[in-house]
C-alpha cells in the first residue's frame, strides 16, 4: 500500500515526510483493519512530523482523523463487520484498569497509546485500530465532514459538557479555532447565546456567520 511516513522529524521545509510503499498491516486480536477513505490534518500531526513530540515509533505514519471502512477483522473480535464505516481518533488504547480508566478519565491513563504516534495512522491506504476504540459512524454524512469531528469535535464536545451549560444559557469562548467553532455550533443548536472573543478577523467573521 501507499503511505506517508516521517523519514526524520524536522521542519516541514526540509520535507520530513516521504511517500513510500508499506505492507498492508495485519489486524491483531481484537483489532480492525480499516481501508482509509479520508484523514484530516491536525496540528498534532505537525508536532509528530517536526519532532515537537518525541519519537515513539520510528518512521511512523501520522494521521488520526480517520474515516474508513472495515476491510478485515482480527481474531477474538465481535461487534464490527467487514463493510462497516468507522472512525479512528487520537486515543488508540488504554489499559482499562488504572484509576483513571475506572473513573471514566481514560485520556489520563498512564499506559495510553496514540494513533499516528505510537502506531501507524491514517496517512495511508490502510491502518489498524483496536475495535474498542473504533467509532461507529452514522450514514447520511460525508466522510470529509465527519473527519474533523474525530479530533476537534471530540475536544469541543467534551469542553461543552464540562461547562454544565444550562438550557438557553450563555457561553463564552476565548479563541475560535477548530474545536471552538464546533463547540459553538453545538451550543447554538441547544439554544445557547454564544460570545466569542478572538483577534483574527476571519475567525470573527466565521463566528458571526455561525450565529455568535
pLDDT at residue number 76:
81
Q: Residue 77 pLDDT more than 90?
A: no
Q: Which residues of 138-153 are buried (b: 16+ CB within 10 A; e: fewer)?
A: eeeeebeebbbbbbbb
End-to-end CA, the chain: 44
Rounded CA separation 152/141 (Å): 17
Alpha helices in the chain (DSSP H): 43-50, 99-102, 143-146, 152-163, 178-189, 201-210
Partners of 192 in the beta sheet?
none
C-alpha span between 206 and 189 (Å, rounded):
16
The C-alpha atoms of residue 212 and residue 205 are separated, in whole angstroms, by: 10
* Residues 162, 156: Cα–Cα separation, whole Å: 10
- 2-139: CATH topology: Quinone Oxidoreductase; Chain A, domain 1 (3.90.180)
How many other CB atoms sit within 10 Å of the CB of residue 160?
Answer: 20
- The predicted-structure confidence for 45-68, as pLDDT tens digits, reads as follows 999 999 999 999 999 999 999 999
pLDDT at res. 32: 97
Task: List the domain boundaries for the chain.
Answer: 2-139, 154-210
Q: Is 12 helix (H, G, I), strand (E, B) or coil?
A: helix
The single-letter DSSP state of residue 26 is P
Distance CA 41, CA 54 (A): 19
Burial 189-204 (b: 16+ CB within 10 A, else e): eeebebebebeeeebe
Q: pLDDT band at 30, cuts 50/70/90?
A: very high
pLDDT mean across residues, the chain: 95
Query: Cα–Cα distances in Å, from 89 out to 1, 105, 152?
Result: 21, 16, 10
- Say which CATH superfamily domain 154-210 falls into: NAD(P)-binding Rossmann-like Domain (3.40.50.720)
d(CA 88, CA 185): 22
Residues 126-180 pLDDT 10s: 999 999 999 999 989 999 999 999 999 999 999 999 999 998 999 999 999 999 9
What's the rounded Cα separation, in Å, for the pair 25 and 28?
9
**pLDDT per residue as tens digits for the range 80-136:** 899 999 999 999 999 999 999 999 999 899 999 999 999 999 999 999 999 999 999
The pLDDT tens digits for 199-211 are 999 999 999 999 9
Amino acid at each position: 500500500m501507499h503511505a506517508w511516513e516521517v523519514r526524520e522529524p524536522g521542519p516541514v521545509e526540509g520535507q520530513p515526510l516521504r511517500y513510500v510503499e508499506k505492507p498492508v498491516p495485519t489486524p491483531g486480536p481484537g483489532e480492525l483493519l480499516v481501508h482509509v477513505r479520508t484523514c484530516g490534518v491536525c496540528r498534532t500531526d505537525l508536532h509528530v512530523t517536526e519532532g515537537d513530540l518525541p519519537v515513539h515509533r520510528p518512521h511512523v505514519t501520522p494521521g488520526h482523523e480517520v474515516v474508513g471502512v472495515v476491510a478485515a477483522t482480527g481474531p477474538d473480535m465481535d461487534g464490527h463487520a467487514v463493510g462497516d464505516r468507522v472512525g479512528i481518533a487520537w486515543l488508540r488504547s488504554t489499559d482499562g484498569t488504572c484509576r483513571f480508566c475506572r473513573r471514566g478519565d481514560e485520556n489520563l491513563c498512564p499506559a495510553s497509546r496514540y494513533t499516528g504516534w505510537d502506531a501507524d495512522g491514517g496517512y495511508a491506504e490502510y491502518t489498524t485500530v483496536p475495535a474498542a476504540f473504533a467509532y461507529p459512524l452514522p450514514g447520511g454524512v460525508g466522510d470529509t465532514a465527519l473527519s474533523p469531528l474525530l479530533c476537534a469535535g471530540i475536544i469541543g464536545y467534551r469542553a461543552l459538557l464540562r461547562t454544565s451549560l444550562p438550557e438557553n444559557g450563555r457561553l463564552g469562548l476565548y479563541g475560535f479555532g477548530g474545536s471552538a467553532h464546533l463547540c459553538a455550533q453545538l451550543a447554538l443548536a441547544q439554544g445557547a447565546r454564544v460570545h466569542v472573543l478572538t483577534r483574527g478577523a476571519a475567525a470573527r467573521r466565521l463566528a458571526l456567520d455561525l450565529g455568535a
